[in-house]
Chain A
Amino acid sequence: MRRALLAMAVAASPIVAEADPLRLRGDALATTASPAGLLTLEASGQQTSNLSAEAVVWVAGQPTPGQDTRGDVLVIALKAKDKKGRASGTLGRFVASIGALRPVHVDGAGGRVHLPQRFDVEAYGGVPVVPGLATSRSWDWMFGSRLSRKLGDWGSAGVAYLQQRDDAQIATEEVGFDAGAAFGKADNAAAKLAYDLAGEGVAEVSFMATHKEGSLRTDVFAVHRSPSHILPATSLFSVLGDYASERAGGTLTWKAAPRLDLGADLGARRSGTEMGPLLVGRAKLKLDDRGRSALTGEVRRDGVGADEWTGLRGAARYALTNEFGVATELELVIPDEDRGLGRVWPWALAAVSWDRGDWHAAVAAEASASPTDVRRFDVLGTLGRSWGLK
């Protein structure tokens, strides 16, 4: 017995040596808009290099819009992995995002195992998260899994399956395929496809390829999405069929000077029979090498059919001292058809922030005119403190 205790003590000693301190962070947000007050508490700790935990909870002064709750848990998860990293697991509330399957917020467990021949298996299962600390729903559960294989040092491919049931009825049944590859240092590509098995149709296909040449990066992308196949299969609207929405184009990013980044998106959207442009021009100028002070500007032409719009956005941040900074942001949205809701929808914010060691504070004034408010003025304030961060 004594020998066993001694062995346990010896085994535990490096654990203590490797342990990271408990980290805590608290942020309070007060606004004149709802929710008027919000307190977020975040904690994380690593007992050993193989065992860690984190939690994020919040309480609000009044129920958040769209949610009849004054407090909730965003994440509470315990994570463990074996010493060689061949297997890992998560228990608690977390967002499960695997392969081409849609990300889901789940109360349950998940894990991954590296198998021989460079195969990986990952899976999760549990109850879908709904706002509120308690749920009266029954027979709601979900399960997702993915089998993937690494392809040399240059890529991987995987196939995944998801089933979700609400009140024991199939709400989502989906199979996904994903692949990613890097061709040398300059080129890479990724693609994924999600197929709705419950409604039998493609839910989403997307593709992206990137080429880097010196300070110039070029991306091409294409996305096809079918809204009715993204809805829960228990929805009456999933039986109507739909017009797919599509987006395709390219993005250019150019580091024109050490402190100047320029970018442009050139593309098009299609929704049903309607086409629309997707044109963006953007520039960002850092005013110091670390980018603590910077300016940015963006022009956008977007939307489809009667919902086309033009947008202008400018933002600036200036570090007055090591501790104090000011920031401002302005956005103008000009819809092609105002429908009596205003020809220009401006939005502006001016903020002062303060950072000193573990403390952070900021206060801002926000003003806007939107389809719902002829004019609106809000004041925001935040105060945060960290403990245990190095």
Chain B
Amino acid sequence: MTKRIVILAFLLVGACAGVLGLSKSQPQPFPHRAHVTKGVPCTRCHVGISEDDGSKLHIPDDTTCVECHQKPHDSRPCLGCHTTEGKLAELMEAREHLVFQHKAHFKEVKGNCARCHVGVAEGDTRMRPPMAACFKCHDQQAASNASRCDACHKDLEDSGTLPATHLAHDADWLSEHGLRAASSGELCQSCHKEAFCASCHGQTVAALPATMKFGNPFSPSVHRAGFASRHSLEAHSEPGTCTTCHQPERCATCHIAKGVAGDGRRSPHPPGWVGLTASENLHGREARRDPASCAACHDGGGQSLCIGCHKVGGVGGNPHPPGWSSRISLSSAPCRFCHPIGSRP
């Protein structure tokens, strides 16, 4: 049985190799390493790169290739197959979003391109120098301390550049970004504009990014897809989470606007919510479980609603948990609602 499963798995992976990006029949990265090991100087193909001022890409064309490969095996353009899809766009993106000139570096490395393009030592897939290569000469600490990412990077947010040394943009970014940003807020700000945080955490958000970008199902969002259906389940499962962005009254105003609560509609509470005995009173336990949910509707009128019973000497008894203490003065809200000046705490 196990043998069959293993065989089946191999067959499945083999059949799907192209889709998974494992197939060799697809366009492959340009064989830079093979050229370098045969002693072909980089400048022989990348003509004029030693004088590059940052305005051109210096990609060789077919006439450059046929100088050596005099009998091409195919009539199609060489880079149609001998480069991976999207590589050109990646280079153009780098050209637009990096402050860089080959000319200035060429003399410093004495024409040894591999000093920065270290990936050529291992293969052909990672030709762009890693940031670590820049910091062999440039002072990373000074740039980092001064938060000057823009000394080298232009329009980071627009380019979507995620340097490998940065944290927390893979895996579940949505869950962890708040924790990561707590100690790395300045790092976040080096790429993201104010509007990035405000588009979710702002109190004046008209429509969340997931609504505005409905055509992209892959953008991360707390409120994506059928959130409207499941939001009550999610809110009850992790009480307090909604309040980290929303004011408690947001629930009531939205429910009234959508016509699902308030405005004299029937009570959403189940039977046994408020009763004369402890066993008939579900509301106390539920209020402790999710006080923000109660505050969503009752924080205005709730003061009279609750303290009718839960007042000093009232039938509802003391609503505070054992060991309750607070630094708030009895004359301040909300203490003064139950503890009028002169009453005993």
Contact = CB atoms under 8 A, between A and B. Distances in A.
Interface in B95-139: 96
Interface string A348-381: 0101110000000010101011111000000010
Nearest to A228: B291
A164 interface: no
Given A35-B207, A157-B183, A327-B216, A370 B328 contact: no
B226 A331 contact: yes
Contact of B333 (A234, A271, A287): A234
Contact of B206 (A72, A120, A208): A72
A75 interface: yes
A40 B206 contact: yes
A225 B240 contact: yes
Residue of B178, B184, B238, B295 contacting most chain A CB atoms (<10 Å): B238
A250 to B, nearest CB: 11
A251 B332 contact: no
B243 A243 contact: no
Interface residues of B, number: 104
B332 A271 contact: no
A30 to B, nearest CB: 11
Interface in A281-314: 284-291, 294, 296, 302-304, 307-309, 311, 313
A243 B289 contact: yes
A294 B218 contact: yes
Interface in B43-59: none
A74 B195 contact: yes
A260 B16 CA distance: 11
Given A153-B141, A289-B85, A345-B229, 12 more contacts: A42-B195, A65-B254, A158-B182, A190-B182, A228-B292, A237-B294, A251-B171, A256-B20, A302-B237, A304-B237, A311-B230, A335-B233
Contact of B243 (A231, A311, A382): A231
Interface stretch (B30-38, B60-68, B196-204, B272-280): B196-204
Interface in B149-174: 150, 155, 158, 167, 170-172
Nearest to B228: A370
Contacts of B215: 325, 327, 351-353, 362, 364, 382
10 contacts: A105-B201, A129-B202, A188-B167, A219-B176, A227-B290, A247-B238, A271-B239, A276-B237, A370-B226, A372-B260
B290 A102 contact: no
Residue of A79, A102, A227 contacting most chain B CB atoms (<10 Å): A227
Contact of A307 (B141, B197, B236, B298): B236
Nearest to A155: B183
A206 B179 contact: yes
A64 interface: yes
Residue of B178, B194, B257, B287 contacting most chain A CB atoms (<10 Å): B194
A197 to B, nearest CB: 7
Contacts of A210: 167, 171
B248 A235 contact: yes
A230 B244 contact: yes
A79 B147 CA distance: 14
B184 A180 contact: yes
Given A190-B179, A351-B214, A237 B244 contact: no
Given A74-B204, A288-B85, A317 B217 contact: yes
B19 A156 contact: no
Contacts of B281: none
B86 interface: yes
A99 B178 CA distance: 9
Contacts of B230: 309, 311, 333, 335, 345
Contacts of A313: 225
B148 A258 contact: no
Contacts of A51: none
Contacts of A74: 195, 198-199, 202, 204-206
B2 interface: no
B57 to A, nearest CB: 15
A228 B232 CA distance: 18
Nearest to A255: B170
Contacts of A364: 214-215
Given A85-B145, A290-B86, A364-B215, A180 B183 contact: yes
A251 B333 CA distance: 43
A249 to B, nearest CB: 10
A49 B150 contact: yes
10 closest A-B pairs by beta carbon, nearest first, are A85-B146, A347-B226, A241-B321, A258-B21, A180-B183, A227-B240, A315-B217, A362-B215, A257-B20, A370-B229
